[in-house]
Amino acid sequence: EEPLKKKFLLKISGRNYTEFEPERMRFHKEDFSLEILNTSRDDRRLYEYSVSKGPDEEVWQIQLEVFEPVADPSIRILHRESSNGSCSLALRCSSERGDEVSYSWDSRDNGTGGICSGSGGVLNLSYSLRGAAFGCVCTASNPVSSRRAAFHSAQCGSEQ
């Protein structure tokens, strides 16, 4: 049976310390923090911090998550229908990059009665063409970033 292996990033003994990957990690002795330089998805894993005091050892485990920020989203019209002075649209908001991206919709101003409210990548709208113009904003976000794109209701989306 294979033994469990640990890879050490840093060892401290008294006032001396050794960094095993100084080109990738930086130890800050002022606050005992360890900084990972040029973080990548490969750094997503379980890390362990242990302190030995005589026969006792205290161990903390930290799960590091690494997220790629979201790119600027774009809004596309999936479906458009205009009849009897009303307009029905299905809009899709999407971002080409980012991990664990979620989407939400809101009004550009508060005068639309919540027509733009929603969550998820697709928003279905139905409104009167005689009503005032309005704008919907899609927000693409994840735990590390947030980006927005706007849609304007002009002429049932024909001039987007």
Contact indicator for 106, 115 with CB cutoff of 8 Å: no
Which residues touch 95 (CB under 8 Å, ≥6 apart)? 70, 71, 72, 73, 74, 101, 140, 147
CATH class of this structure's domain 73-152: mainly beta
Q: Give me the pLDDT at residue 135, please.
A: 87
Residue-range domain boundaries for the chain: 10-64, 73-152
Q: Exposed, middle or buried, 55 (CB in 10 Å: 0-12/13-18/19+)? A: exposed
> Can you read off the two tokens belonging to residue 46?
């379980």
Question: pLDDT digit string (tens) for 97-139?
Answer: 999 999 999 987 655 557 889 999 999 998 888 876 788 999 9
- Residues (pLDDT < 50) of the chain are 159-160
Q: Give me the pLDDT at residue 85, please.
A: 84
Q: Give me the pLDDT at residue 103, please.
A: 98
Task: Give the pTM.
Answer: 0.72
